[in-house]
Amino acid sequence: MSEACRVTAHFDEVLRAGIDGGAAPGAVAIIVNRDGVVWHGSAGERVIHSGNPMTDDTVGAIYSMTKSITGAAAMQLVEQGKLELDAPAGNICSWLNQVVVLDGFDGNAQPITRAPKSPVTLRQLLTHTSGLTYEIWNSNEARWRIHAGVPGLFTLNNDALKIPLAFDPGTQWEYGIGIDWVGKMIETVSGMSLGDYFAAYLTGPLGMSDTAFTRTPSMLERAASVHARTPDGSFVSMDLPQPEKPEFELGGGGLHGTVGDYGRFIRMILNDGVLDGQRVLKNTTVREMCKNQIGSIRVNKLNTIAPLLSNDAEFFPGQPKSWGLTFQINETAGETGRPAGTLMWAGLANSFYWIDRQNGIGGAYLSQILPFGDKKSLNLFYAIERAAYQSLI
């Protein structure tokens, strides 16, 4: 057996063992380097007990893996001078000039609000330091939505984005909807819908033909269902409701795609903004995106208040993590073999990716299960990453 075949067989074995061990009903994963695909594999089923196998071209909801794509699109417009990282974001989306800070609730259950000490900027929206949060992990935001009658984010109603800040901009890190507002900013200055902008200037030039907010008939034929892990560890397929009249495309989490497509995005970042002769970002821009943009502030653990959607979650607990534009950055080496400076993030249905620019490799993993932060699924992603460093570096 050739060395390449041996490595492929080893990765296939790691993935199959994880699925057989209950990590997910099915998963698909990819490892890439600057030059191309090192390995691409799949195991299990798209829908539990269906007999419909997971295949390399399976389409899934990538949720917050959307964020890095939206961030890259925003940085294209920064390059063109149409957006500014440190100007008030309210110059583009006027509602952000009106946003207040929610300091809690008084004894009569009324919200305590005040003006922020400084305006929200694009850089803060991209780095989760704006003060905008997610109701899944912030109890005050969840309480505010009920009090004010503000719809949940996944209604895709424009009013769903109109929430208060949890703290003054630039003072803390908390994961939130900031990049959904970045999507709105892109639409405002480009005059295009977010999906049309991606297709014209980012996913289209990168050859990511299976990545979109609205799935094509071909994508629907290859789509995996989202599953819930039950208390006994088994899975049940979920029929997630779709918004009847969506008013915007969710730049922070609305894309569907394949890991093959996402591997192309990773390779673009590994290659300083160019892929197969198509340059979508300047090399200096990519290098800036991959730097710590939040100074001494550090990424916090996500503490759930919605256990059906998310567990408490943190990658590499106890290790310091910062944030770039728009990736989490490991400040120290990880036990999988990744060095300090490695980029990563994830999607709500337990999809994950990593980008190691030092060694020129990266990868993505797609499962479709809830709640987020599933230990078995995350450990399978780590096992694939660990195998990559053991076999390739």
Catalytic positions, written as ranges:
64, 67, 175
Burial (CB count <10 Å: 0-12, 13-18, 19+), residue 30: buried
Q: From CA 349, how far away is CA 366, in angstroms rounded? A: 8
Residue count (the chain): 393
**Cα→Cα distances 5→10, 19, 33, 259, Å:** 9, 21, 17, 21
Amino acid identity for residue 83 in this structure: L
Residue keyed to tokens 């995996």: 224
Cβ neighbors of 46 (< 8 A, separation 6 or more) are 25, 26, 52, 53, 54, 58, 222, 223, 224, 225
- By the 8 A CB rule, do 255 and 265 touch? no
* 266 phi/psi in degrees, rounded to 5: -60, -45
**For residue 88, cis peptide bond before it (omega within 30 degrees of 0):** no
| Sheet with strand 343-347: strands edge to edge | 37-44, 26-33, 361-366, 351-356, 343-347, 328-330, 321-323
- H or E stretch covering 269: helix 259-270
Shortest CA distance to 18 belongs to which of 279, 299, 350, 260? 350
